[in-house]
């Protein structure tokens, strides 16, 4: 008995093509929405996993002297928190000194702004004198003087109208409270953002516990995860996990070592320049210099602010030149050898990943964009069907 096949019409084929295209599009949209609205959860989890990858070699080192994994994980986490506490104490000490000097820095900033304003006003006056004849200049000056006098009179009348009227008899506490609440936009902003601050603080407080449990339960988590795969797929999953771990560890440790080197060189150079607070300004400038694309201008902000205490033109020029030279040397010579050799991402993919993750997760997305994309490439390189994507992402 011969089988009769129904011919596929063009309409049916178009419906099938649209259905095949719609499902991945809907799935991609759902993934983007989940990543966007669950940003706090995902950022906290990824930061905890990254820290766990970094601390894992130290846990294994303690396990070689026959310490249990749980105890080794606890000791490593405790030492890491102690180091953060010591660094925080030093930073707070420097910041308190800067806070005491804020009036001086504010005065210097005001002088610089006034100087720039006077220079711009002088340029405007010279241009005005060149462009207008003498009679028109006199008429224009008279008109401007009349406008200023009218403006001063209007401001004076507003101040008189805004004088506080005598309070009516009765409970004035509620009136004063409402007035204070209406005249404090900062308090309104804090009240509106209090829920977001609470969520952020809550998620950050989970990071030490997540890191400890990821380290102490690492073997159990790996075995449980690999049980979802069978045969060759289990080997692929093992290689993918190992590739992600090696890449994240190399990326983070490489950036940390490079930032530490830049911080040390910057601190020594700023100390030689007799710049105020070199032990705070140097590390901030060194680590900010590693941020993608915006690293150079951000790295200049702390030393330029500290240079206000000296307030000389050669100091400002020397700061800009030194930070620029260190940034160019670090990114063009040191970064490819220390970090780039383990990431293997082409510049176009890096730029698009920064745009995408920066849109989804703001500033944390810019910091996590490269390791996330490199982790995706590590998975694609080990999965046979995804290797073309891995080659596309690679350099």
Taking only the tens place, the pLDDT of each residue in 4-15 is 454 556 677 777
| Residue 134 reports pLDDT greater than 60 | no
Q: Judge whether 351 and 382 are in contact, CB under 8 Å.
A: no
Q: Please count the other Cβ atoms lying within 10 Å of the Cβ belonging to residue 392.
A: 12
Provide the percentage of residues in the chain whose pLDDT is more than 90: 3
Winning range, highest mean pLDDT, from 178-182, 194-198, 270-274: 270-274
pLDDT confidence band for 236 (50 / 70 / 90): confident
| Residue 177 reports pLDDT greater than 80 | no
| Ramachandran category for residue 311: left, alpha or beta (phi over 0 → left; psi -120 to 50 → alpha) | left
Q: How many helices (H) and strands (E) does the chain have?
A: 17, 0
| Residue 184 reports pLDDT greater than 60 | no
| Residue 189 reports pLDDT greater than 70 | no
| Residue 73 reports pLDDT greater than 80 | yes
Mean pLDDT within 227-247: 80
Who has greater pLDDT, 371 or 83? 83
Average pLDDT taken over every residue of the chain: 77
Q: Judge whether 295 and 289 are in contact, CB under 8 Å.
A: yes
Residue listed under structure tokens 């004849």: 133
Per-residue CA distances from 299 to 198, 247, 306 (Å): 30, 26, 12
Residue listed under structure tokens 């308190």: 96
pLDDT confidence band for 368 (50 / 70 / 90): confident
Provide the percentage of residues in the chain whose pLDDT is more than 70: 80
Residue listed under structure tokens 């010579």: 333
Count of residues for the chain? 395
Q: Which pLDDT does position 136 carry in this prediction?
A: 63
Q: Which pLDDT does position 373 carry in this prediction?
A: 85
pLDDT confidence band for 330 (50 / 70 / 90): confident
Q: Which pLDDT does position 183 carry in this prediction?
A: 46
3-state secondary structure (DSSP) of residue 206: coil
pLDDT confidence band for 154 (50 / 70 / 90): confident
Least confident of 12-16, 100-104, 157-161, 231-235: 157-161
Mean pLDDT within 202-217: 87
Q: Which pLDDT does position 82 carry in this prediction?
A: 92
Q: Judge whether 207 and 47 are in contact, CB under 8 Å.
A: yes
| Residue 242 reports pLDDT greater than 60 | yes
| Residue 194 reports pLDDT greater than 70 | no
Say if residue 291 is exposed, middle or buried (CB neighbours under 10 Å; 0-12, 13-18, 19+): middle
Distance CA(209)–CA(299), nearest Å, equals: 32
Mean pLDDT within 110-137: 69
| Residue 138 reports pLDDT greater than 50 | yes
Q: Which pLDDT does position 178 carry in this prediction?
A: 45
pLDDT confidence band for 74 (50 / 70 / 90): very high
Winning range, highest mean pLDDT, from 102-106, 275-279, 320-324: 320-324
Q: Which pLDDT does position 79 carry in this prediction?
A: 92
Helical H runs in 38-68?
39-63
Q: Which pLDDT does position 75 carry in this prediction?
A: 92
pLDDT confidence band for 218 (50 / 70 / 90): confident
| Residue 181 reports pLDDT greater than 80 | no
Per-residue CA distances from 44 to 48, 238, 256 (Å): 6, 24, 19
Helix pair 232-272, 39-63: axis angle to 10 deg: 90
Distance CA(345)–CA(85), nearest Å, equals: 35
Q: Judge whether 367 and 319 are in contact, CB under 8 Å.
A: no
Winning range, highest mean pLDDT, from 72-86, 223-237, 281-295: 72-86
Mean pLDDT within 351-372: 83
Distance CA(275)–CA(297), nearest Å, equals: 19
Distance CA(123)–CA(32), nearest Å, equals: 51
Mean pLDDT within 281-307: 84
Mean pLDDT within 170-190: 50
Distance CA(305)–CA(284), nearest Å, equals: 12
Among candidate residues 309, 262, 315, the one with its CA nearest the CA of residue 286: 262
Max distance between CA atoms of the chain, in angstroms, equals: 109
Q: Judge whether 262 and 330 are in contact, CB under 8 Å.
A: yes
Q: Please count the other Cβ atoms lying within 10 Å of the Cβ belonging to residue 105.
A: 16
């Amino acid at each position: 008995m011969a089988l009769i096949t129904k011919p596929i019409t063009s309409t049916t084929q178009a419906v099938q093509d649209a259905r095949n295209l719609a499902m991945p599009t809907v799935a991609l949209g759902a993934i983007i929405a989940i990543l966007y609205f669950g940003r706090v959860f995902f950022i906290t989890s990824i930061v905890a996993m990254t820290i766990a990858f970094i601390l894992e070699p130290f846990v294994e080192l303690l396990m070689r002297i026959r310490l249990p994994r749980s105890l080794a994980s606890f000791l490593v986490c405790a030492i890491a928190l102690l180091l953060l506490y010591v660094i925080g104490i030093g930073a707070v000490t420097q910041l308190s000194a800067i806070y005491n000097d804020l009036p001086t820095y504010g005065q210097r900033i005001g002088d610089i702004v006034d100087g720039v304003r006077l220079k711009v006003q002088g340029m405007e006056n010279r241009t005005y004198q060149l462009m207008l004849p003498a009679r028109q200049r006199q008429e224009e000056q008279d008109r401007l003087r009349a406008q200023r006098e009218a403006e001063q009179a209007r401001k004076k009348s507003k101040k008189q109208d805004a004088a506080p009227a005598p309070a009516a008899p009765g409970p004035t506490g509620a009136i004063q409270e409402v007035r204070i609440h209406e005249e404090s936009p900062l308090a309104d902003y804090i009240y509106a953002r209090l829920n977001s601050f609470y969520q952020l603080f809550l998620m950050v407080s989970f990071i030490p516990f997540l890191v400890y449990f990821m380290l102490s339960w690492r073997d159990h988590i790996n075995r449980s995860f690999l049980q979802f795969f069978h045969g060759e797929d289990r080997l692929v999953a093992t290689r993918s996990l190992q590739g992600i771990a090696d890449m994240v560890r190399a990326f983070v440790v490489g950036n940390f070592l490079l930032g530490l080197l830049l911080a040390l060189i910057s601190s020594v150079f700023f100390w030689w320049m007799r710049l105020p607070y070199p032990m705070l300004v140097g590390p901030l400038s060194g680590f900010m210099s590693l941020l993608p694309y915006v690293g150079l201008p951000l790295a200049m902000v702390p030393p330029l602010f500290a240079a206000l205490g000296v307030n000389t033109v050669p100091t400002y020029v020397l700061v800009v030149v030194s930070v620029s030279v260190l940034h160019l040397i670090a990114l063009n010579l040191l970064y490819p050898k220390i970090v780039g050799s383990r990431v293997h991402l082409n510049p176009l993919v890096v730029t698009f990943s920064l745009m995408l993750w920066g849109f989804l997760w703001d500033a944390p997305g810019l910091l996590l964009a490269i390791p996330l994309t490199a982790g995706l490439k590590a998975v694609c390189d080990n999965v046979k069907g995804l290797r073309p994507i891995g080659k596309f992402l690679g350099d």
